[in-house]
């Protein structure tokens, strides 16, 4: 006679969870989501009219110390002025706008890999 109290199902499920390396899967899913975000962000990054470094050419994803970051290497000081504006520059909100537009997709990318690994 099968006991349908749910404990066996939960035991099976938790034993599968214990076999998943959460740190590895989390970093992989975060890096994949960051790459997707950059792919969607690139067309929205404004180019400077001056003959200087362009943010679009210096964006990168870095994974170090259990952390995934997106940065504008070499132009990191200036992007926030374009994003948020100044007294002389109108705010363009290219990062915030892209995030709002693709937020659900990015969240799905971050969670789907973890869920697939947990399912076995």
Tell me what pLDDT residue 4 has: 59
Q: Is 6 left (phi over 0), alpha (psi -120 to 50) or beta?
A: left
- Segment 39-94, tens digit of pLDDT: 999 898 887 666 676 778 888 888 888 888 888 887 667 778 888 889 998 988 88
Buried/exposed code over 70-98 (b: 16+ C-beta within 10 A; e: otherwise): eebeebeeebeebbeeeeeeeebebbeeb
H or E stretch at 42: none
> What is the pTM for the complete model shown?
0.71
Residue with the larger pLDDT of the pair 16 and 94: 94
């Amino acid at each position: 006679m099968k006991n349908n109290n749910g404990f066996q199902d939960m035991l099976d499920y938790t034993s599968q969870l214990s076999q998943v390396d959460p740190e590895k899967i989390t970093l992989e899913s975060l890096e994949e989501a960051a790459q997707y975000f950059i792919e969607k962000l690139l067309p929205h990054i404004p180019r400077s009219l001056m003959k200087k470094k362009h943010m679009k050419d210096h964006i990168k994803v870095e994974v170090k110390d259990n952390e995934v970051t997106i940065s504008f290497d070499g132009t990191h000081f200036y992007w926030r002025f374009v994003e948020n504006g100044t007294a002389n520059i109108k705010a363009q909100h290219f990062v915030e706008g892209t995030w709002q537009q693709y937020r659900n997709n990015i969240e799905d990318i971050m969670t789907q890999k973890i869920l697939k690994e947990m399912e076995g």
